[in-house]
């Protein structure tokens, strides 16, 4: 009897222990939080649910992956608990630590975000690629100091990130704003040596030189702004989030489409584009336009005018009509032997968005029909080629195209203006002055040409 009672007591104790452990585990178990929304992208929510199931059944890496997918779609509040669980299971999870800080940052909790960024900076950097995340975290600390209007702390924090161009930009800007342009200038000039066509640093150069009372040099710095196309990633959010956005939904399919487009794999483009459209189930998605454009291009390349018109009918049923649809219908009409209808459509497209390709098509159409009209379009072809060389910073190569455009478009000020810009930036100031003057004669309201003439006239000894 005593033995039986003892066995019963042991069984009760074991059950109590097991029950207690189950309750303890349940109390610390994290349940994934997913948004209760419907999205235009039909693939996102099923994929998020699948990632949530994997996270519940697995470890830190799976929780971090769920958090990353949520951040990629902008669900920062829902990503936070996923990252916290990833860190509970592995406090050294570098990606989860940054993801947590970023989620707090994007949901407006600045002080908490900064505390988490500081924790990240105490962790060992797992790989060389992750060094970019370290730069982002240091930069975010400085930016958060700016958001709380603490300029002194912000400058100090940005200085800790010296050599990272966005941080250098912020330091230089803070110094100019606080009357220390002479201290900003070396930082600006150093960055312009490494990135000669940085729009932001030319802007700061202009500001600093004005503050230092050097107006002629400031004017030339402003002129460099006109031809600068390199943009700094002053806000790293897009750089960080874009790869995460590609983890779920239609984004991977779009990435595959982009790769097929780069390799001009016509068959692959058609396959991916058709599959993409079928997955939408009639729901409007803003990236659908890009897919439609690729499908139209493929149909033209394959010389399938009926397919082009069929696609256009579907596109126009959504209310879309633009230079792309006009050009592609023109291509289809041309393939069907309807030359005049094609030319009219290309003309309309060129009015909306002039391009080298459209002017080449029109020049070819008018080759034997109307010599004057042909030459007008050839002039625009030359102009577009000259501008393309200019944008690529090949100034000498741009000049012959622009001279040809000026000859063939005698009433158009644009070729003369761009020709003047080439000569000015090449230091041929007398030739530049002549071309600016011709621009102004053709267009007396051309403010930029007037300003450049005034600038050059103020220093005749340099001409």
Output the tens digit of pLDDT for each of the chain's 463 residues.
Answer: 555 565 555 554 556 554 544 444 444 557 888 888 777 777 888 889 999 999 898 889 999 999 999 999 899 999 999 999 999 999 999 999 999 999 999 999 999 999 999 999 999 877 887 888 899 999 999 999 999 999 999 999 999 999 999 999 999 999 999 999 999 999 999 999 998 888 899 999 999 999 999 998 998 888 888 777 777 777 777 788 888 888 887 777 767 777 777 666 767 777 777 777 676 655 555 667 888 888 888 889 889 999 999 989 988 988 889 999 999 999 999 999 999 999 999 999 999 999 999 999 999 999 989 999 999 999 999 999 999 999 888 999 999 999 999 999 999 999 999 999 999 999 899 999 999 999 999 999 999 999 999 998 886 555 5
Contact residues for 126 (Cβ-Cβ < 8 A; gap 6+): 94
* DSSP code of residue 428: -
| Residue labelled with tokens 């600016």 | 436
The three-state secondary structure class of 232 is coil
Q: Give the ranges where 107-179 is alpha helix by DSSP (H).
A: 110-122, 131-147, 151-159, 165-177
Q: Enter the pTM of the model.
A: 0.75
Tokens (6 digits) for 399: 């000049």
Contact by Cβ (8 Å): 99, 64: yes
Contact residues for 416 (Cβ-Cβ < 8 A; gap 6+): 406, 435, 436, 438, 439, 442
Using alpha carbons, select from 109, 59, 107 the residue that is nearest to residue 82.
59
Cross-strand pairs, 230: 198
Q: How far, in Å, CA of 89 to CA of 81, rounded?
A: 12
For domain 354-457, give the CATH superfamily. Tetratricopeptide repeat domain (1.25.40.10)
CATH architecture of 44-226: Alpha Horseshoe (1.25)
Cross-strand pairs, 198: 230
The CATH number given to 250-351 is 1.25.40
CA 459 to chain centre: 41
Q: What is the DSSP string of 361-376?
A: HHHHHTTTT-HHHHHH
pLDDT for position 38: 75
In the chain, domain spans: 44-226, 250-351, 354-457
Tokens (6 digits) for 57: 């059944």
Domain 250-351 in the same topology as domain 44-226: yes
Contact by Cβ (8 Å): 415, 427: no
Q: Residue 368 half-sphere exposure, CB side, CA atoms within 13 Å? A: 1
Sign of the CA dihedral 315, 319, 323, 326? positive
Contact by Cβ (8 Å): 359, 381: yes
The three-state secondary structure class of 88 is helix
């Amino acid at each position: 009897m005593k033995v039986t009672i003892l066995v019963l007591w042991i069984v009760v104790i074991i059950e109590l222990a097991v029950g207690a452990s189950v309750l303890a585990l349940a109390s610390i178990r994290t349940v994934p939080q997913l948004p209760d929304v419907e999205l235009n992208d039909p693939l996102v929510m099923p994929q998020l649910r699948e990632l949530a199931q994997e996270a519940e059944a697995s470890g830190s890496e799976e929780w971090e992956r769920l958090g990353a997918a949520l951040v990629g779609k902008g669900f920062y509040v829902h990503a936070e608990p996923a990252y916290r669980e990833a860190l509970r299971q592995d406090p050294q999870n570098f990606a989860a630590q940054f993801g947590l800080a970023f989620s707090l940052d994007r949901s407006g909790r600045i002080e908490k975000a900064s505390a988490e960024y500081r924790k990240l900076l105490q962790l060992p950097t797992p790989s060389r690629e992750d060094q970019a995340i370290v730069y982002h975290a240091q930069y975010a600390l400085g930016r958060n100091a700016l958001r709380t209007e603490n300029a002194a702390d912000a400058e100090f924090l940005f200085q800790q990130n010296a050599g990272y161009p966005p941080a250098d930009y912020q330091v230089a800007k803070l110094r100019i704003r606080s009357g220390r342009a002479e201290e900003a200038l070396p930082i600006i000039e150093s960055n312009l040596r490494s990135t000669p066509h940085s729009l932001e640093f030319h802007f700061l150069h202009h500001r600093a030189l004005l503050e230092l009372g050097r107006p002629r040099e400031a004017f030339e710095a402003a002129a460099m702004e006109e031809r600068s196309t390199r943009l700094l990633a002053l806000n790293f959010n897009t750089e960080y989030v874009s790869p995460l956005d590609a983890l779920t939904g239609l984004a991977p399919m779009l990435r595959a489409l982009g790769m097929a487009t780069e390799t001009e794999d016509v068959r692959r483009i058609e396959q991916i584009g058709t599959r993409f459209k079928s997955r939408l189930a009639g729901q409007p998605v803003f990236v659908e336009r890009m897919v439609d454009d690729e499908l139209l291009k493929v149909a033209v390349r394959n010389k399938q005018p009926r397919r082009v018109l069929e696609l256009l009918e579907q596109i126009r049923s959504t209310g879309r009509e633009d230079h792309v649809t006009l050009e592609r219908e023109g291509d289809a009409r041309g393939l069907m032997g309807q030359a005049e209808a094609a030319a009219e459509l290309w003309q309309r497209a060129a009015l909306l968005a002039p391009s080298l390709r459209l002017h080449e098509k029109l020049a070819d159409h008018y080759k034997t029909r109307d010599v004057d009209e042909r030459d007008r379009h050839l002039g625009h072809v030359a102009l577009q080629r000259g501008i393309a060389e200019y944008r690529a910073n090949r100034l000498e190569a741009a000049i012959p195209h622009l001279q040809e455009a000026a000859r063939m478009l005698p009433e158009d000020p644009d070729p003369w203006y761009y020709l003047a810009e080439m000569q000015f930036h090449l230091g041929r100031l007398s030739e530049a002055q002549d071309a600016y003057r011709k621009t102004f004669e053709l267009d007396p309201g051309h403010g930029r040409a007037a300003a450049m003439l005034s600038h050059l006239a103020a220093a005749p000894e340099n001409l």
